[in-house]
Amino acid sequence: MQKTIAAALLALALPALAHAETPEQKGLAIAVESQKRNTGWVDSKVDAKMILENKQGEKSERNMRLRALEVVSDTDGDKSLTYFLSPADVQGTALLSFTHFKTPDDQWLFLPALKRVKRIASANKSGSFVGSEFAFEDLLAQEVERFTYKYLREEPCPTDEAKGLVCFVSERFPAYENSGYTRQVSWVDKKDYQVRKLEFFDRKAEHSKTLLFTGYRQYQGKFWRSHTLVMENHQTGKKTTLSLGNFELNAKVDQTEFDPDALARLR
C-alpha cells in the first residue's frame, strides 16, 4: 500500500503540474483517487443475487451472501467469503478467496455434502463464475496495483443515472498473470470517482463484454456502492445481472471466519 500512498501524494501534487502529466500518469492518478475515496470501510456484508440469461431468454438465479475484509497491503488484495444460498443443491457451499496482486490467489471451497474443504489449486481467475458472464477477476476489488493505466479522454458519462456528469475515460491493462483480457476501458465520473462502465477486450483484443454499474448509493456519507451490475457478452448474446442489497460497511464481521479451517463451521 505504500506505493499507493506515494502515488496518492504524487497525485495531490499533480494539479500544479497538470500540463506536464502523461496519459499514463493521469490514468494512474484517477485510479488512485478512486481508491482513496474507497479506503477505510474495514469490512462489509452484502446479499447478492445473480440472474443469468441466455439468448433464448431463459433465466436462472443464484443467491449468495458476500463478506469482505479490507486488506491494506501492496502485495495482497481484499479477502472475500462467498456463501451460496441457492440453488438448493449447493446451499451452504462457501468459497473463501485470498487475492494477491502478483502471485496466484488462494481459494478454498467448502462442500457441505462432502463435509470437506477443498483447495482450488488453480490460477483460473479468468474462468466463468458459476456459469455467469462474470469472470472471477471481474468481481475482485479494483485495487490500483492490479492494472497499469492510460488516460484517453473526457466525455459525458454513459449511464442514465450519471447523465449530466462528465467521465474520465481510461484504458487499463491487467498487471497480473492469467487474465482473460488484453485491456479494459473504464468510465469514471469526475465528481465521485465511481466506475460507471467497463468494456472488456479479450485475448484477440476484441470487445467481448460490457459491464454497466448503476443504482449507486452512498454509505456512511463516504462510500459509494453500485447496486446493479449488468454484464453483457457481445459474442454469445448472454447476459448476467448482479443485484446487491443490504450493504453493511464497518459491519464488524467475525475475522476468524476468514480461515479455511473455519469454513465448515459457517452457517
Query: Long-range CB contacts (< 8 A, 24+ apart) of 112-115?
Result: 115/264
Among 4, 93, 159, 186, binds other proteins (CB under 8 A): 93
CB of 190 or CB of 234, closer to other proteins: 234
The DSSP H or E segment spanning 44 is strand 43-53
Tell me: does residue 56 bind other proteins (CB under 8 A): yes
Query: Binding to other proteins (CB under 8 A): which residues in 140-179?
Result: 178
90 CB neighbour count, 10 Å cutoff: 17
Total of residues contacting other proteins (CB under 8 A): 47
> Does the CA dihedral 183-184-190-194 come out positive or negative?
negative
Sorted by sequence, the CB contacts under 8 Å of residue 221 that are 6+ apart come out as none
Give the orientation angle of helix 23-36 with respect to helix 2-13, to 10 degrees: 110
Q: Are strands 166-174 and 183-189 parallel, antiparallel or unpaired?
A: antiparallel
Tell me: does residue 8 bind other proteins (CB under 8 A): no
Tell me: does residue 267 bind other proteins (CB under 8 A): no
Phi then psi for residue 125, to 5 deg, are -65, -20
Pairwise CA distance, residues 142 & 194, whole Å: 11
CB of 30 or CB of 64, closer to other proteins: 64
CB of 97 or CB of 186, closer to other proteins: 97
Cell numbers for 104, please give them: 496466484
Q: Which stretch binds other proteins (CB under 8 A): 58-66, 154-162, 188-196, 245-253?
A: 58-66
Tell me: does residue 124 bind other proteins (CB under 8 A): yes
Tell me: does residue 231 bind other proteins (CB under 8 A): no
Tell me: does residue 63 bind other proteins (CB under 8 A): no
Question: Which residues form the interface with other proteins (CB under 8 A)?
Answer: 52-56, 58-60, 84, 87-90, 93, 95, 107, 109, 111-114, 116, 118-124, 126-131, 135-136, 178, 180, 203-204, 206, 234-238
